[in-house]
A = this chain, B = another copy of it.
Amino acid sequence: MSPLRIDGLQYCNWSRRIFEEMRAGGLDAVHATVSYHENFRQTVRHLVDWRQRFRDHADLILFARDGDDLARAQASGRTAIFLGLQTPMPIEDDIGLVEILFELGVRFQQITYNNQSLLGCGWMEREDSGVTRMGREAIAEMNRLGMLADLSHAGERTTLETIAASRRPVVVSHANPRWRRDTARNVSKRVMQALAESGGFIGLSLYPAHLPEGSATTLRQFAEMAAEAAEIVGVNHLGIGSDLCQDQPDSVVRWMREGRWTRPDAEAIAFPQQPQWFRSNLDFPGLAEGLADVGFRDDEIAQVLGGAWADFIAQNVGKPG
């Protein structure tokens, strides 16, 4: 079989066309965001919609719960969709909902989004007080079940404390090295080292706000950044988490940023334009050339574009540990 291609985060306006593009782009697996600020009940409604998508497009995608499902997807020429949550609002203040959502197929759970959550602190708060009491309970529960704690959007202290508190490796599914784009949304060298030491994982983002030169970032700049990341975490713990939000209306970026926690900002909010070399799943294979140009060997490219995610998922997702 050809090398695996996996995207560690997308939140597209799902349609048959997008699933067809996943196949055309050779994507074996995608981690798809189910909810941002939605509560448990609203999240369950999204999970109902996903079940309908899996039935309607069973020729293109399948509902993935562990590495076996990923292998099954590859063997049958389909894309394995892993489901995840970008805030912990769906578990509300009920630790039992971690297990319930796990049973319903959720495999990635962000500790927080941009703000303080019940579990930990986001990168946009003035002060990050670290992992909360419930946060420690939730991390233990995720460890027990095989649900990944995802630290994308978390503050530095919350990120480091989660890495320390977690019995199993954690992920930053979609972020970039901070020294290439100086925003607290990206991860510091210290965080990357802590990830490396704990067997954790980072997926590099292709969202303009995380890229060195925004929408104008070149593929070469992206690849150079990947090379620097690989020096720290190694190609076996490095992947892609594109943060692709294809076909979404701008109201969605407002929902992501403002949820229900603030009155709507009068300012217009719009999705930034993607770099011209990464606008859909069709562009995923093209990343290989960029990586090759900065010196990645073929086996290293295979790891970064999917092999490393596949190994990590096989070990850490969906199975008790």
Contact = CB atoms under 8 A, between A and B. Distances in A.
Contacts of A103: 103-104
Contacts of A48: 94, 96-97, 99-100
A94 B42 CA distance: 11
A16 interface: no
Interface string A53-80: 0000000000000000000000000000
A97 B45 CA distance: 8
A99 to B, nearest CB: 6
Contacts of A96: 44-45, 48-49, 51-52
A41 interface: yes
Nearest to A101: B44
A147 to B, nearest CB: 15
A148 to B, nearest CB: 20
A271 interface: no
A40 interface: yes
Contacts of A97: 44, 48
A47 interface: yes
Interface string A27-52: 00000000000001100110111011
Nearest to A48: B96
Contacts of A40: 41, 44
Contacts of A44: 40, 96-97, 100
A56 to B, nearest CB: 14
A44 B96 CA distance: 9
A45 B41 CA distance: 12
Contacts of A94: 45, 48
Contacts of A104: 100, 103-104
A12 B44 CA distance: 29
A210 to B, nearest CB: 34
A99 B51 contact: yes
Nearest to A98: B48
A99 B54 CA distance: 14
A315 B41 CA distance: 32
Interface string A75-100: 00000000000000000001011011
A186 B178 CA distance: 70
Q: Identify the 8 closest CB pairs spanning chains A and B, nearest first.
A: A48-B96, A44-B100, A41-B41, A103-B104, A51-B99, A40-B41, A48-B100, A103-B103
Given A40-B44, A103-B104, A104-B104, 13 more contacts: A40-B41, A41-B41, A44-B96, A44-B97, A44-B100, A45-B94, A45-B96, A47-B100, A49-B96, A51-B99, A52-B96, A100-B104, A103-B103
12 contacts: A40-B41, A40-B44, A41-B41, A44-B96, A45-B96, A48-B100, A49-B96, A51-B96, A51-B99, A52-B96, A100-B104, A103-B103
